[in-house]
Amino acid sequence: MNARRAILLTLLTPVIGLLFLIGCGPDVEQMKDEAQQALSVGDFSRAREISTSALEQVPQSEKRLIWSLERIHLEALARENQGEETRETLERLASEYPAQANASLYLAIASYLRDAGGTSGAIDILLAGDERFPEESEKFNAQIQELQAGGLDPAEIERLRSLGYL
């Protein structure tokens, strides 16, 4: 082997290896599907784990895919009753994706929190949604009334009363 060829092989081998590893890495679209499947079967921590990993790998130019992964992550948080993190994530997404983070999403996330036992977190989401979407106030108030009918603790009742919802 001549010296030129040896130098080229020495320089290109790591580059070829790196390209091979990149090409063989996990497919982010497939990871999204796996995260959605985990969410669908109630494995919320796995859905969060997969969506978080995929979000670290997806190119920033893939806005549609990023939104799908963010939505899966958000729903998994809510279904795991992670109220504060859910609220923070939803507010961040509302800033970054205002068209997708609409009133319906706020209402759905509040329902997931409520169903997971997170009444306080659900109230936080409903109040934030009502503030962000005043034109949808009736829907937010209706869900707050449903929460009240389901039995709130006295502190939550007082909180809603002080804000004028009860």
> What is the rounded CA–CA span in Å between residue 148 and residue 144?
6
Q: Examine the pLDDT at 68 and tell me if it is beyond 80.
A: yes
Q: What are phi and psi of 151, to 5 degrees?
A: 95, 100
* pLDDT number for residue 79: 97
Q: What is the mean pLDDT of residues 121-146?
A: 91
- What share of the chain in percent tops pLDDT 90? 64
pTM of the model: 0.77
Boundaries of every domain in the chain: 1-80, 82-166
Closest C-alpha among 155, 108, 97, 114 to residue 136: 108
Per-residue pLDDT, 116? 93
Contacts of 162 (CB under 8 A, 6+ apart): none
Q: What class is the 82-166 domain?
A: mainly alpha
Sequential DSSP letters for 83-138: HHHHHHHHHHHHHH-TTTS-HHHHHHHHHHHHHTT-HHHHHHHHHHHHHH-GGGHH
Mean pLDDT for the stretch of residues 151-160: 65
